Structure formats: structure tokens, C-alpha cells
């Protein structure tokens, strides 16, 4: 842990090599994060966890998110980067297919048991962007639970909120997303 704190301090001081050191120290955890994110994707997904970690890492070091106050903020930024990679990948595939019927997103509890199609990922991303405009905390919780696969205890550590608060926010976010996605299917 002392190494991580030292590396984080170097990142805050603007040392470009420190971000690479941080990623290599936390690589196994990043790989597990990517594996969990891909578990909810379709089985024939062309991205593998290693490729997803590499692409997310490139976004972390090249973007404005390369300043991390602590380990939790690093993983929050990593979850966002992973989400962006998956969404961009889905957009690319959707462009290649040029449309098709819109599919219903099965959000029973937002615990996805079946892989999502590219169109569903895009639809969920659009709803999350809308949610983040008026409630960024709820959007962050959904992003960390859904795209990063974090559990409630992990969310408590990352977000620093109580379990009861996180559960309440999670329920409200799921209800809002179900409602929003149902409206988009009616349109």
C-alpha cells in the first residue's frame, strides 16, 4: 500500500511515468474489473479482457482523468474508461449493422443475466448520460455496479457512503432507468 500511495503522489505531481507504474501495480485488479465488465456482454464479443484493459489504460493516461487522489478514484476512473471502451465498441458495431429493430433491455434489478446486444449497451449508455445530468451519484453507482461489476462492499469503499445509502440510491437509479428505457421503447 505504501508503494501505491507513493505512486499516487507522483501522479498528482504530474509524473507521466507514475500512471504507468500505478497501472502495472494494479494490473491484476484492472484485469479482473475488465473480466467482470465483459461477463455481461454477448458471448461472441470480440474484445478480450486484456485488450479492454489496454484500451481503458490508454484512455486513462491520455485523458483528463489521469489525476488520481487515491486508489478508489483510480478505479472509478478505470470503470468509466472501461464503460467508454465498451460503448464505443458497441457504437462501431451498430454503425456496421445500420440499425435493425430496437431490443428491449432486460433490467429486472439491473442484474444482467444475459449478455446485452450492442443496441442495448448504447441505449443504457444514453440513459446513464441523461441520469448523470441531474444525479451524478446515482449514475456513478450504476456505472460501477453494472460496468465494473463492483459489489456493495466494494462500492462502500470506493464511494465512501453507507451500505443503506448505496442500496437506496441503487434502487432509485434502477427504477429511473427502467422507466426511462420503457419510455424509449414506446417512442
What span, in angstroms and rounded, lies between the C-alpha atoms of 90 and 186? 22
What span, in angstroms and rounded, lies between the C-alpha atoms of 47 and 129? 23
φ and ψ at residue 41, rounded to 5 degrees: -90, 170
Res 9 pLDDT > 60: yes
Res 4 pLDDT > 70: yes
pTM of structure:
0.52
pLDDT score of 2:
56
pLDDT score of 100:
44
Confidence of residue 133 (pLDDT cuts 50, 70, 90): very high
Longest Cα–Cα distance of the chain, Å, equals: 53
Average pLDDT, the chain: 77
Domain boundaries, the chain: 2-186
pLDDT score of 3:
73
Higher pLDDT pick, 106 / 101? 106
Report the phi/psi class of residue 14: left, alpha or beta, with left for phi > 0 and alpha for psi in -120 to 50.
left
* Closest by Cα among 120, 156, 159, 154 to 139: 159
pLDDT 10s digits, 45-86: 677 888 888 888 777 767 655 566 777 777 788 888 888 888
Q: CA 89: distance to chain centroid?
A: 14
Amino acid at each position: 500500500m505504501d508503494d501505491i500511495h507513493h505512486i499516487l503522489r507522483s501522479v498528482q505531481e504530474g509524473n507521466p511515468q507514475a500512471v504507468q507504474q500505478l497501472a502495472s501495480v494494479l494490473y491484476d485488479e484492472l484485469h479482473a474489473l475488465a473480466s467482470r465488465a465483459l461477463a455481461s456482454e454477448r458471448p461472441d464479443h470480440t474484445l478480450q479482457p486484456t485488450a479492454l484493459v489496454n484500451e481503458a489504460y490508454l484512455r486513462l493516461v491520455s485523458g483528463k482523468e489521469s489525476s488520481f487522489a487515491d486508489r478508489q478514484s483510480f478505479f472509478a476512473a478505470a470503470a468509466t474508461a472501461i464503460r467508454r471502451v465498451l460503448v464505443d465498441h458497441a457504437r462501431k458495431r451498430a454503425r456496421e449493422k445500420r440499425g435493425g429493430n430496437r431490443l428491449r433491455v432486460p433490467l429486472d434489478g439491473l442484474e444482467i443475466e444475459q449478455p446485452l446486444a450492442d443496441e442495448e449497451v448504447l441505449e443504457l449508455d444514453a440513459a446513464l448520460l441523461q441520469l448523470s445530468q441531474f444525479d451524478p451519484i446515482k449514475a456513478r453507482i450504476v456505472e460501477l455496479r453494472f460496468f465494473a461489476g463492483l459489489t456493495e462492499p466494494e462500492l462502500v469503499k470506493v464511494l465512501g457512503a453507507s451500505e443503506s445509502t448505496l442500496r437506496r440510491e441503487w434502487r432509485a437509479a434502477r427504477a429511473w432507468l427502467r422507466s426511462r428505457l420503457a419510455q424509449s421503447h414506446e417512442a
